[in-house]
Amino acid sequence: MTRRFLTVTLTAALLIGACGGGSGEEGATTTGGEDTPTTIGGAGTTEIPNTTSDGEGRPIGLEDIPQVCIDAFVEYLQALEPIVADIDWSTASMTDLEEVGNATEEATNNFETATESAQCADMNIQATDEETFEYILDLARDTAPGTVGYFEMLRDFVGNSDAEVSGDCETDIAALMAIIDQGGTMKDLPMADLTMVGNLTTSITTNCSQDRAAEFLSESDVLAWMSG
């Protein structure tokens, strides 16, 4: 549940597969069955952009996101709000995220269904991660302010993917072991620390020999910590 929920939520936050260029900002919500734009710099369109000859969505800006996709995301935000509003996301762990995922399974399913049927996932939006999250946060502030902290956490989680590691096999093994030796399991770590764990693990599998990486990652205490 946790991995699926995080994947869906990141997909929701990046409706968008952000891919560089562009800089639009806008949003909208629905009231009483009618489209009521929440102006953040433009107005949502009403149709899914045409695809190109290779089957990919033609490049569009954030200001061109169709209204139906915005409405689906706003509905998702409003379903998340009462569940995530009171969580301190600066210290929240994967366990907290798992509990949120279980509590929002129906909303997650509804969001997936709505965006798939409206072809929202096929859009090719030209925007950086920074522009995308600013767009999402503006929309959240206007329509579901209790979700702002949650999406700020996701923004920081995504933006921290370049957290530095040494690139040296044994140094990064020692760094990961220092985290493991603190006790608990990986699920107990604050979300902010999980990126470093991921980067260290990637460095170990990349910079260590295959035998050394396999030896370390198969140690009983490492396996117990990662799967706990």
Is there a single domain that holds both residue 151 and residue 186? Answer: no
Looking at residue 142, its pLDDT comes to 95
Is there a single domain that holds both residue 19 and residue 88? Answer: yes
User: DSSP secondary-structure letter at 119?
Assistant: T
What is the mean pLDDT of the segment spanning 205-228? 92
Flag whether 81 is in a domain.
Answer: yes
Flag whether 164 is in a domain.
Answer: no
Residue pLDDT, tens place only, 42-83: 444 444 444 444 445 567 788 888 888 888 889 989 999 999
The alpha helices in 20-127, defined as continuous H runs, are: 67-84, 94-103, 105-117
Q: How many CB atoms are closer than 10 A to CB 56?
A: 11
Flag whether 85 is in a domain.
Answer: yes
Is pTM beyond 0.85 here? Answer: no
Is there a single domain that holds both residue 210 and residue 130? Answer: no
Looking at residue 9, its pLDDT comes to 52
Is there a single domain that holds both residue 82 and residue 149? Answer: yes
The domain containing residue 175 runs over which residues?
A: 169-227
Looking at residue 58, its pLDDT comes to 65
What domain count does the chain have? 2
Closest CA to 27 of 17, 16, 101: 16
Residue pLDDT, tens place only, 170-199: 999 999 999 999 988 888 888 777 878 888
pLDDT of 223 > 60? The answer is yes
